[in-house]
Amino acid sequence: MKTKKVGSAGRFGSRYGKNLRTNFRKVEDQKTGGWECPSCLKKTLKREAAGIWKCKSCGYKFAGKAYKPS
Ligand SMILES: [Zn+2]
């Protein structure tokens, strides 16, 4: 098998970059995607800070994980 112009480092870089993008998008989705409030059960939960979650509807605030409420 012949080596491409980019070589083994280039192939690894491409794969690594794709994974990185996928992971980043997953985190972004979790940050903004509607999580269910444990108090009023509406999907209005928002991440206020890393590990702090607040419901926009009832104002319920609690500590969770950095990118997930629980
Ligand atoms: Zn709520």
Per-residue pLDDT of the chain (70 residues; tens, 9 = 90+): 665 666 665 666 666 666 666 666 666 555 555 789 999 999 999 889 889 999 999 999 999 888 787 7
Each domain of the chain, given as residue ranges in start order, spans: 7-63
Q: How far is the CA of 41 from the centre of ligand 1 (A)?
A: 6
Q: Which CATH number fits domain 7-63: 3.90.1200.10, 3.30.750.24, 3.30.1330.60, 2.20.25.30?
A: 2.20.25.30
Q: How far is the CA of 3 from the centre of ligand 1 (A)?
A: 57
**What is the amino acid identity at position 13?**
G
- Residue 39's alpha-carbon distances to 5, 15, 31, 57, 59, in angstroms, are 57, 42, 19, 10, 9
Which residues surround the ion ligand 1 when the cut-off is CB under 5 Å?
Answer: 37, 39-40, 55, 57-58, 60
pTM, rounded to two decimals:
0.52
